[in-house]
Amino acid sequence: MATQNASKPNGPPIVNGFFEKRTSSVQYVVADPKTKRCAIIDPVLDFDPKSGATGSRSADELLAYIAREGYQIEWILDTHPHADHFSAAGYLKDRTGVPTAIGEKVVEVQKLWQGIYNIAGCCPADGSQWDKLFADGERFMIGNMNVEVLFTPGHTLASIAYVIGDAAFIHDTIFMPDGGTARADFPGGSARELWRSIQRILALPDDTRLFTGHDYCPGGRKPAWESTVGQQKAENIHLKRAKTEEEFVALREARDRELPMPKLILHSLQVNIRGGRLPEPEDNGKCYLKIPLDALDGAAWD
At 237-263, the pLDDT tens digits run 999 999 999 999 999 999 999 999 999
Asked whether residue 281 carries a pLDDT value surpassing 90, the answer given is yes
Q: What is the DSSP letter of 87?
A: E
CA distances, 114 to each of 68, 117, 128, 218 (Å): 40, 5, 15, 35
Residue pLDDT, tens place only, 168-216: 999 999 999 999 999 999 999 999 999 999 999 999 999 999 999 999 9
* Mean pLDDT estimate for the chain: 95
Predicted local confidence at residue 120, as pLDDT: 87
Give the range of the structural domain holding residue 135, as residue numbers without chain letter.
2-272
Q: Is 245 exposed, middle or buried (0-12, 13-18, 19+ CB in 10 A)?
A: middle
Beta bridge partners, 39, equal 30, 75
Task: Tell me if 172 is assigned to some domain.
Answer: yes
What percent of the chain stands above pLDDT 70? 97
Q: What is the DSSP letter of 130?
A: S
Residue pLDDT, tens place only, 148-161: 999 999 999 999 99
pLDDT band at 10 (very low <50, low <70, confident <90, very high): low
Asked whether residue 7 carries a pLDDT value surpassing 90, the answer given is no
Report the pLDDT averaged over residues 125-152: 98
Task: Tell me if 188 is assigned to some domain.
Answer: yes
What percent of the chain stands above pLDDT 90? 94
Task: Tell me if 290 is assigned to some domain.
Answer: no
Q: What is the DSSP letter of 271?
A: H
Predicted local confidence at residue 8, as pLDDT: 39
Report the pLDDT averaged over residues 86-108: 98
- Give the domain CATH number at 187: 3.60.15.10
Predicted local confidence at residue 206, as pLDDT: 98
The neighbour count for residue 111, using CB atoms within 10 Å, is: 15
Task: Tell me if 84 is assigned to some domain.
Answer: yes
Task: Tell me if 88 is assigned to some domain.
Answer: yes
pLDDT band at 121 (very low <50, low <70, confident <90, very high): confident
Interatomic CA distance for residues 64 and 208, integer angstroms:
28
**CA 95 centroid distance within chain:** 21
Interatomic CA distance for residues 101 and 80, integer angstroms:
10
Q: What global pTM score does this model have?
A: 0.95
Which of 158, 138, 134, 135 is closest to 148 using CA atoms?
A: 138
Q: What is the spatial order of strands in the sheet that 139-142 belongs to?
A: 139-142, 145-151, 160-164, 167-171, 209-212, 226-228
pLDDT band at 1 (very low <50, low <70, confident <90, very high): low
Predicted local confidence at residue 18, as pLDDT: 98
**CA 105 centroid distance within chain:** 14
Going 103 to 107 to 108 to 109, the CA torsion angle's sign is: positive
Residue pLDDT, tens place only, 14-53: 999 999 999 999 999 999 999 999 999 999 999 999 999 9
Q: What is the spatial order of strands in the sheet that 86-87 belongs to?
A: 53-55, 44-48, 86-87
Task: Tell me if 279 is assigned to some domain.
Answer: no
Interatomic CA distance for residues 95 and 107, integer angstroms:
25
Report the pLDDT averaged over residues 81-98: 98
What is the per-residue burial (b if ≥16 Cβ within 10 Å, else e) of 268-279? Answer: bbbbbbbbbbbb
Beta bridge partners, 210, equal 168, 227
Predicted local confidence at residue 6, as pLDDT: 37
Predicted local confidence at residue 105, as pLDDT: 98
Task: Tell me if 136 is assigned to some domain.
Answer: yes
Rg (the chain; Cα; Å) = 18
- How many folded domains does the chain comprise? 1
Task: Tell me if 257 is assigned to some domain.
Answer: yes
The neighbour count for residue 231, using CB atoms within 10 Å, is: 16
